[in-house]
């Protein structure tokens, strides 16, 4: 199970690393991942060439101002595109120390499918492992011949053990 988790995590990281980026108009070093998010999609903002340790990005397309923090030589932050937006381009203003940069977020039409879902899209089958199916079958069919034979063997072993214990007490 550990190797499966490693494989899935590696795949997710590779998908994020290889996801298309939208670079801001004006080349201010602002990028948005995914490139054309649909309304309600989670986005990651990246700002390069900022000498400060923090910055703030704001846009009418985002649900809130985005604090940006250092990660891999750039400033990175996450937010969500407002779910009520219509398709189009929206300005993004990044305040980095005493300077400001502007860029754009191009929002796709509402029915467009995001490159990666913001949250799970289906319930996860969890718990029970392989025993869940067996438990469901047992509830439907009840104990069978194998259960009866196993019970009889265990009862016989217990009876022999009790009889030996009584004999050993009586021999003293």
Query: What is residue 34's DSSP assignment?
Result: S
Q: With 0.75 as the threshold, say if the pTM is over it.
A: no
Task: Give per-residue pLDDT as tens, 88-146.
Answer: 999 999 998 888 888 889 998 876 555 555 555 555 566 666 666 666 666 666 677 88
| Both structure tokens of 137 | 């079958």
Write the DSSP assignment of 73-135 as a string of letters.
TEEEEEEEB-TTPPSEEEEEEEEETTEEEEEEEEEPPTTPPPSS-SS-SS----SSTTHHHHH
Confidence of residue 67 (pLDDT cuts 50, 70, 90): very high
């Amino acid at each position: 199970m550990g190797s499966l988790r490693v494989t899935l995590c590696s795949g997710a990281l590779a998908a994020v690393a290889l996801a298309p980026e939208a670079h801001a108009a004006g080349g201010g070093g602002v990028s948005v991942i995914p490139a054309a998010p649909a309304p309600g999609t989670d986005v990651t903002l990246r700002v390069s060439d900022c000498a400060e340790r923090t910055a703030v990005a704001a846009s009418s397309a985002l649900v809130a101002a985005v604090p940006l923090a250092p990660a891999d030589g750039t400033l990175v932050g996450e937010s969500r595109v407002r779910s009520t937006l219509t398709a189009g381009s929206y300005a993004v203003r990044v305040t980095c120390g005493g300077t400001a940069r502007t860029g754009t977020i191009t929002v796709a039409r509402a029915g467009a499918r995001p490159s990666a879902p913001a949250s799970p899209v289906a319930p996860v089958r969890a718990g029970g492992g392989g025993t869940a199916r067996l438990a469901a079958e047992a509830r439907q069919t009840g104990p069978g011949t194998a259960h009866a034979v196993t019970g009889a063997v265990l009862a016989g072993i217990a009876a022999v053990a009790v009889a030996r214990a009584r004999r050993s007490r009586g021999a003293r």
